[in-house]
Structure 1
């Protein structure tokens, strides 16, 4: 018998540095004909990792399925009940509910929608549980990072906000959690969930202005106890590696120095890469991965989540490279043969070359935003504290830590 969330038997094996969550079934989900979101990209990234031999340095774990009670830690009961019951066959007769819960157009109803949500959220919850128990230094769930979902509605291809659920789990053991988002789209769902608390700091670097979701102004800084604990860096088209490094490093260095988070959740949306189908930035894979390297240097418990990314061959390249980085394994630029080898033609190289698109972010503009955000941080007196010293009692008896049989019958047994 193994623990559902940590993947351990009662006698735990030796600690593994990187816990990597992957379910082969994730590649079977299909949003809609012509839809840009393709869960298949997670399978492509995994096969690339296998071909490079990176998985041999990881603890590869199949994510458990999140239960209804797990999902309603953040989401509304009626919304989760709707996701459980809706199918493409019954969707037409439930158009009123589809619009109420945002499951239409960009976020369509598709076969297995609830199972997909369970899988995505289960990997993030399990990763948080392993980080909490000190069983790994890095937890990775590329099927997660669905940062637009709200408490009662789907948004931007996202139905369940696994980022929020993972942070709530981390808060059981950590006084402060930092959420950093490098997706080209603003992490609105996560910011909204923690907008009034100082126990979670949200930082988002994103395209702003006539671009989905339309939020993330530099003046959006939080409210009440959470005032100044939301940081937004609005950017224009063409952000390149040098530009991103100049803004990311000083701001996040100050955040780490001042906020002193117990754990970090990094949403690694790959739609900020050059050549993305829906993105407008110009980052290379090395520039994108530098954000992962930054947090690894700080040595805090780190969770890496997926997110956007709509040129699937580049998404797979990026997430494979960042997984290898956490395992301290350099990768050859020549992509080894794998089941999706033809996707990487004609060059068959791991690293992509940024385009010559114009960078519309001027140095005076970037300097002004950096100064404004650093000034906001410097005016805060100290990192917030939490009055308790022991792990809350509810964590000890938490259903997330219950044991399940190896068989998929869902029978539980007390620890």
Structure 2
């Protein structure tokens, strides 16, 4: 990202006075952070531009996915919100953008940015527990104004593993896709859901995340892939390497290749990650209640309920002669 001389001067002045940006303990104004944040934001914008130009069908920026920052505030290790910048760029070409957040933490900054619009639907699967950052993302948070029901939150508890997570993800995304009919996708794949992460919350492996990724890729839409959290660096590298292989349709060797940081991958030195014995705190009844709430919101908000009612009352001939448009195409 090019930084003009005026911006450079403003940065220098702000740095001298300790006023680089409104930041708390989790976003210290360390030396070089301005350039690094600009590079992350610029990379996401460039990736979005590549999708718009048709240079690729999938674009990746693993250092991106800074989903907590607000328009006037750094938050949660996120100094700017490159996700929002990427979505705004894609909106120059695509009318309806679907944002899917599979990080451990709620994508609050992205949700806040688009909570009043029906042109961007945000879907976040995340840990939701008292005292857990950022403290938002309950299933009842569905958007505001014209954006009501264009926000989908899936609160999850500790210990969830691949199979159950994928079942939840597939169920939600199937309903969302049918209701919203997106033209492009932005997918945030934070690796702090993976077993062994210091967050000690979810109990997943890259294979489970990869199944969710494959489900999105089979839509064959322009897709922007971003990283996010991940505080076990070796496991984060394992995860994003495996997911890159999924995107490319390649099966990677199990053995970690010899390189400068080889010792960080001990004691097994393989690509695979084994779940821990952490108990799954997700009760089936509660999960079903969450899914039912999401389905009801999507059905009513986007006309699926009424389309099905009309189909039931219309004979086969009229259905062939006058196929129904998606509700969102009529808005």
* TM-score where L is the length of structure 2: 0.88
Deviations, residues 319-368 of structure 1 (Å, cap 9, x unaligned):
11111111111111111212211111110010110001011010001011
| Structure 1 residues 83 and 180: CA distance shift in structure 2, 3 A | farther
Whether the 8 Å CA contact 2:67–2:82 is kept in 1: the answer is yes
Q: Give the number of equivalent residue pairs.
A: 307
- Which residue does the alignment assign to 2:167? 246
CA RMSD of aligned residues (A): 2.1
Q: CA deviation at 1:384?
A: 3.1
Task: Compute the displacement of 1:143 (Å).
Answer: 1.1
The answer to which of 178-187 and 110-119 deviates more is 110-119
Q: Distance in 1 between matches of 2:82 and 2:4?
A: 13
1:268 maps to which of 189, 192, 198 = 189
Map of 1:210-229 to 2, 5 A cutoff? 210-229=131-150
| Structure 1 counterpart of 2:88 | 168
Distance 1:252 1:84 in 2: 45
* Displacement of 1:288: 1.4
- Alpha-carbon distance between aligned partners in 1 of 2:252 and 2:238, rounded to the nearest angstrom: 11
Name the residue aligned to 1:31.
none
Matched, 1:359 2:280: yes
CA shift digits 1:2-56 (9 cap, x unpaired): xxxxxxxxxxxxxxxxxxxxxxxxxxxxxxxxxxxxxxxxxxxxxxxxxxxxxxx
Which residue is equivalent to 1:180? 100
User: Are 1:303 and 2:224 an aligned pair?
Assistant: yes
Gaps of 5+ in 2: 304-325
Structure 1 residues without counterparts, runs of 5 or longer: 1-64, 70-76, 388-415
Provide Cα deviations, 1:122-157, integer angstroms capped at 9, x if missing partner.
Answer: 110001001011110100001110000000010000
Choose from 84, 98, 107 the match for 2:27: 107
**2:254 alignment partner in structure 1:** 333
Per the normalisation by structure 1, the TM-score is: 0.71
Does the CA contact (< 8 Å) of 2:181 and 2:328 recur in 1?
Answer: no
- CA shift at 1:294, angstroms? 1.1
Instruction: Using the TM superposition, give the Cα deviation of residue 85 of structure 1 relative to its aligned residue in structure 2, in angstroms.
Output: 4.5
Question: Does the CA contact (< 8 Å) of 2:50 and 2:56 recur in 1?
Answer: yes
Paired residue for 2:51? 131
Distance 1:368 1:66, change over 3 A: farther
Alignment counterpart, residue 78 of structure 2, candidates 137, 154, 158: 158
Contact 1:175–1:385 (8 Å) recurs in 2: no
Structure 1, 375-384 or 287-296: larger mean CA deviation: 375-384
Which secondary structure state, in structure 1, belongs to the residue aligned with residue 328 of structure 2?
Answer: coil
- 8 Å contact 1:228–1:376 — kept in the other structure? yes
